[in-house]
């Protein structure tokens, strides 16, 4: 399988290392700017434009956040290359959503959304068939995990002594205002009741060391609650390791003959 990665941050580094242990070396990195990489990626091809990607790619994998998906997603899909993305919150932008959809149809390619730092999306998707009444997502991280987000202006993150909510609203606004922190809200919205009907609360909590995500849903199926305590990636306190693992799992699904 000939794979390319967009970006080379904390998630991409993890994904590349995991692929390496499965005997796959990414053929190319689509970067914002070229720079020296280490390990198995040291001599990999680097490009800065989708049009310069090599021939014969089976799959591109976006680990670059909203900006990377917006910049390169449409061109990759229009060229007929399937794309796995972890930047689900970018789809809250209706224009980008439509451009990705049009490009995928034009190129005969598919955009695969990795489950990211959350689980239970299968349950939500199935429950949606019978009708969902209410879906709430609550995201809780240690203060360091909210650095670089609007929480920094809403709260004194460094001086926080107890848990404090810094966002309450719908998933579209959460995903738009917190591009590096509310992709999980987008995943819950896309699997369940959509960006406008999904309720979101975001909390900074100095008493925790994990990234804690909760879903509460009710509908014709009954009701469920899901809670996960995700260990952050060593290189990025705001990103859970499970998000990177889910990208590798999404790549493995592309190669599987029996798919779950």
Ligand X SMILES: O=C([O-])CC(=O)C(=O)O
Ligand Y SMILES: NC(=O)C1=CN([C@@H]2O[C@H](COP(=O)(O)OP(=O)(O)OC[C@H]3O[C@@H](n4cnc5c(N)ncnc54)[C@H](O)[C@@H]3O)[C@@H](O)[C@H]2O)C=CC1
For the bound state, the minimum distance from the C-beta of residue 72 to ligand Y, rounded and expressed in Å, comes to 6
Question: DSSP 3-state assignment of 46?
Answer: strand
What is the Cβ-side half-sphere exposure of residue 218, based on CA atoms within 13 angstroms?
2
Kind and range of the H or E run holding 167: strand 164-170
Binding to ligand X by residue 174, rule CB under 6 A?
Answer: no
Restricting to residues 177-216, name those near ligand Y by CB under 6 A. 179-180, 183-184, 187
For the bound state, the minimum distance from the C-beta of residue 177 to ligand Y, rounded and expressed in Å, comes to 13
For 68-114, give the DSSP string: HHHHHHHHHHHTT-EEEES-GGGGGSHHHHHHHHHHHHHHT--EEEP
Binding to ligand X by residue 181, rule CB under 6 A?
Answer: yes
Restricting to residues 105-134, name those near ligand X by CB under 6 A. 117
**At CA 243, angle to CA 159 and CA 238, rounded to 5?**
15
Restricting to residues 130-159, name those near ligand Y by CB under 6 A. none
* From ligand X, ligand Y, none, interface partner of 68 (C-beta below 5 to 8 A by class): ligand Y
**Identified binder of ligand X from the candidate list 19, 59, 90, 243, rule CB under 6 A:** 243
Helices in 91-240 by DSSP H: which ranges?
94-107, 121-130, 151-154, 171-177, 183-191
Q: Is 182 annotated as a binding residue?
A: no
Give the catalytic positions in this structure.
213
Q: Is 183 annotated as a binding residue?
A: yes
**How far is it, in rounded angstroms, from Cα 114 to Cα 116?**
5
> Binding site residues for NAD(+), as ranges?
117, 183
What are the residues binding ligand Y (CB under 6 A)? Answer: 6-12, 30-32, 63-68, 71, 86-88, 116-117, 179-180, 183-184, 187, 236, 239-240, 243
Q: Which residues are annotated as a binding site?
A: 117, 183
């Amino acid at each position: 399988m000939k794979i390319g990665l967009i970006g080379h941050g904390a998630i991409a580094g993890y994904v590349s290392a995991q692929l390496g242990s499965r005997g796959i070396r990414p053929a190319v990195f689509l970067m914002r700017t070229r720079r020296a990489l280490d390990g198995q990626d040291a001599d990999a091809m680097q490009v800065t434009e989708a049009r310069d990607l090599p021939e014969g790619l089976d799959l591109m994998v976006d680990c670059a956040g909203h900006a990377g998906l917006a910049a390169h997603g449409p061109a990759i899909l229009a060229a007929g290359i399937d794309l796995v993305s972890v930047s689900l919150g970018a789809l809250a932008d209706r224009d980008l959503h439509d451009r990705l959809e049009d490009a995928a149809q034009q190129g005969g390619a598919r955009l695969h959304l990795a489950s990211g730092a959350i689980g239970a999306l299968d349950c939500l998707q199935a429950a949606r068939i019978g009708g969902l009444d209410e879906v709430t997502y609550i995201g809780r991280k240690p203060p360091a995990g909210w650095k670089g987000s609007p929480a920094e202006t809403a709260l004194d993150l460094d001086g926080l002594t107890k848990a404090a909510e810094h966002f309450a609203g719908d998933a579209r606004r959460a995903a738009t205002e917190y591009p590096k922190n509310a992709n999980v809200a987008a995943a819950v919205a896309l699997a369940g009741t959509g960006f406008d009907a999904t309720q979101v609360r975001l909390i900074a909590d100095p008493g925790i060391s994990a990234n804690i995500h909760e879903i509460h849903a009710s509908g014709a199926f009954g009701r469920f609650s899901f809670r996960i305590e995700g260990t952050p990636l060593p290189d990025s306190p705001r990103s859970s390791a499970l998000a990177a693992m889910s990208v590798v799992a999404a790549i493995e699904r592309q190669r599987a003959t029996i798919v779950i």
